[in-house]
Amino acid sequence: MAKSFTDRLRAPDSSVDLAKLSTDAHPGVESKKAALEAMPKLGERLAELQERLFAQARGGGSPARDSVLLVLQGMDTSGKGGTVKHVTGVMDPGGLRITSFKSPTEEELSHDFLWRVRKALPGVGQVGVFDRSHYEDVLIVRVRNLVPREQWEPRYGLINEFEQELADQGTTVVKCFLHISRDEQKERLLARLDDPTKLWKYNPGDVDERELWPAYQGAYESALELTSTATAPWFVVPADRKWYRNFAITNLLIEALERINPKWPPAGYDVAREKARVLES
């Protein structure tokens, strides 16, 4: 049996050295052509599994409580927005709950760091997507010293407890680090500056963050080391090639949904009796 993407892309168990993990490999598929040819069928499969997940939360008997949460993290231009568009875009938007986390508001800052995250969780049967997430509270917050170490350091443990709580409630968390190279980021930033339809995606602050590249890579390494658990493992997705990023994350979502194995639910009513009622009506 072919190795799953869940196995292939899982973050190393021990210490993580991002410099040693490829940003442009394409494990699990031979070529761009093969990946692109496979995508339509994978998209259909993903959409059907999503519909089953949605359906089984609304069926008769005791409806299932499962949901999925896709967490997307990565440096600027790593493709978080592109993943939302191209990967989650094949699913029924009625069953998606997408949240793009920005700098926290004053109200959000006046609460625990998980407060705004809890409000954005997927409901039963939904697929939630976080474009950035609670991990920012151990990434930019750590790199830029937005709170003292005594505050951010305990967050790794708090995050693990939080994600365990989600698992206990039936939420499968799929955490993807979109791993791009520093050179690829430079090219993508320049491409934004060269294209009138992309100027709005560029922010001068992006270069300020880029200049802290080594500190960010270190902060990502710590996050991957300290929060990749059996319950909610991290996946390191080589993301220099957009086609591979989309292909890999589509497969990771399909595999997560296959583990849930959502079923079309039974009727919560007497089908024959209802047919008769409709026919008479």
Report the alpha-carbon distance of residue 156 to residue 174 in Å, rounded: 17
Give the pair of three-digit tokens for residue 56. Answer: 């089984």
Annotate 231-240 with b (16+ C-beta within 10 A) or e (fewer). ebbbbbbbbb
Nearer to its own copies, 13 or 183 (CB): 183
Please identify, using beta-carbon distances, which residue of 19 and 190 lies nearer to its own copies.
190
CB of 230 to its own copies, least distance (A): 30
Q: What are residue 89's phi and psi, to 5 degrees?
A: -65, -15
* Residues lying near its own copies in the complex (CB under 8 A): 55-56, 58-60, 81, 84-85, 88-89, 91-94, 96, 98, 100, 129, 131, 186, 189-190, 193, 196-197, 199-204, 207, 210-211, 264-267, 269, 271, 274-275, 277-279, 281
Give 3-state DSSP helix, strand, coil % of the chain, rounded to 5: 50, 10, 35
Query: Would you say 13 or 119 has its CB closer to its own copies?
Result: 119
Q: How far is the CB of 174 from its own copies (least distance, A)?
A: 16
Residue 96 vs 173, nearer CB to its own copies: 96
Nearest-approach distance from CB 17 to its own copies, in angstroms: 23
Q: Give the nearest distance from C-beta 97 to its own copies in angstroms.
A: 9
Which one-letter DSSP state was computed for residue 33?
H
HSE of 35, CA atoms in CB hemisphere, 13 A: 18
